[in-house]
Chain A
């Protein structure tokens, strides 16, 4: 057998051991009672960090499969590398909604939209907070339980789905890019077509787990009665998104 410089073997193994200890090489995710690796990769994908005093880059190549799995205490996200930091994007895309002139014989409708993207979480809830439109001391009667529109009866309500009554308006939550990545849904009481409800503090939408972007359309209805006091009505609604990490 040809002589070998064993010293090279020794130092090679030595550097490999040091590299493993310093975590500078890709490793399979590990955990013990005292340590855990929050995010890791297996296979060809993953993160490559490059930096200089002036520039830095963080790259990742695509992964052949993607998906989430979750239990009470653990959660994994498979796919191209994601950042482990909490992430929440919440955008309410309107600042005003005009329902127009109310008549006892006619239901007025309008819509607004908001979007939520909430990675690295155990899901989120969206609440609506605020009073129904009011005029002086009189507020339009909020629909405390989900019900259909009833012209001639004073009502103010919303839902987050597509409706056909009193007209075709609104839209179901849209998962962006697909339902394989995003999981937001309208909440109970706000998820039945042609039924509307409004209670300040109610949860109107949620995702049961980490979710990509979901675009929601809020459908508003208002009805007046013959005794609804004349005047201009307005109310401010605030949507609040809370993610759990």
Chain B
């Protein structure tokens, strides 16, 4: 309909009709959906992965989101994509991150917040797509958590990838409720390395060794004095030791018993007490009362005297014996070696001595 308006009055009337028609048309447009209504956006959504390492097997993916609609959710579809939007279809497959494997996935725990009732079952036959459904889900949906295990991460490092989440009001994945995309990324793993060199600190002396250091060690001889059948000769020496050997260490003693020419004082082949009037030469590594000599091992370490050399007032000497040991790497430990000697009436006079050698062997 085309008309010419040739008077102001008619023009005003006609213009009023046109404006009215426009208004009605606009209202009609507003009342009719003008395009398909998209599902609402899931809020507070994230995915937490247990590992960002490339190709990490059996990775756990935990999805959290809050639905906009409180409608009970009966199925959820999650597609893994290289982009947040645009072409992505795991069925084709198109746009699925390289190296990703989801066909071994399983639901971890029980999904929560989707609704109540029934049991959720998963479908993981299409790589890049996680699906769970529960036809009996009812009630109200809220803040949701769904976790999956058994996923192998994509194979490209330092690369983002996306998971497009859609919830449905039916168990057949046909009627969407809400959607939302979350992002995560693979990343280089960092291997931190260091080395610790092998160490062994071992010293002997008569004095000067402290509970933490060999620095002041001095002296090479322990004088047991003049022996008689009614007195027990005694003396001490020291050892300090520390080792970072993972399997610990052992200290052995080697040498002869006290000797004067061809004469000897009998070594104590088994741990026994001091017996005046009987030829004896022995040692131990603890504090004694009879005779009063020696002191217990001390220092930050935990190494101990060996069997036979660890009992107060009991002494022993057998060349080659292990006299102290540690089971593992050990801090500094100070040992005091107590020596005793007794003679019998038949003991030949003379000057008796021996050179003892202590050897520390660490096992790294």
Contact = CB atoms under 8 A, between A and B. Distances in A.
Interface of A: 1, 3-7, 9-10, 13-14, 17-18, 21-23, 38, 73, 83, 85-103, 108, 110, 112, 114, 122, 129-130, 132-133, 135-136, 138, 140, 220, 222, 224-245
B187 A231 contact: no
B85 A1 contact: no
B191 A229 contact: no
A229 B244 contact: yes
Kindly state the interface size class of chain B when it binds its partner: 35 or more
Interface string B173-212: 0000000111111011111111111110100000000000
Interface of B: 1-6, 8, 11, 14-15, 18-19, 21-22, 25-26, 29-30, 34-35, 41, 43-53, 83-85, 158, 160, 162, 180-185, 187-199, 201, 242, 244-246, 301, 328-332, 364
B53 A238 contact: yes
A61 to B, nearest CB: 23
Contact of B188 (A4, A93, A245): A93
A243 B52 contact: no
Which 7 A-B residue pairs are closest in the complex by CB-CB distance?
A: A85-B84, A90-B185, A88-B183, A99-B194, A229-B246, A230-B198, A92-B188
A236 B190 contact: yes
Nearest to A88: B183
A242 B190 CA distance: 18
B146 to A, nearest CB: 15
Contacts of A122: 44
Given A101-B194, A112-B190, A232-B195, A23 B35 contact: yes
A230 B199 contact: yes
Contact of B364 (A88, A231, A240): A231
B246 A136 contact: yes
B164 to A, nearest CB: 10
Contact of A89 (B34, B185, B194): B185
Contacts of A6: 3, 5, 11, 14-15, 18
Given A101-B197, A226-B199, A242 B191 contact: no
Contacts of B29: 17-18, 21
Given A21-B30, A226-B332, A240-B51, A231 B160 contact: no
B361 to A, nearest CB: 15
B196 A101 contact: yes
Given A1-B11, A3-B6, A99 B193 contact: yes
A99 B192 contact: yes
14 contacts: A3-B6, A4-B11, A6-B11, A86-B181, A86-B183, A88-B184, A89-B160, A91-B187, A95-B191, A226-B201, A227-B242, A228-B329, A240-B49, A243-B183
B244 A227 contact: yes
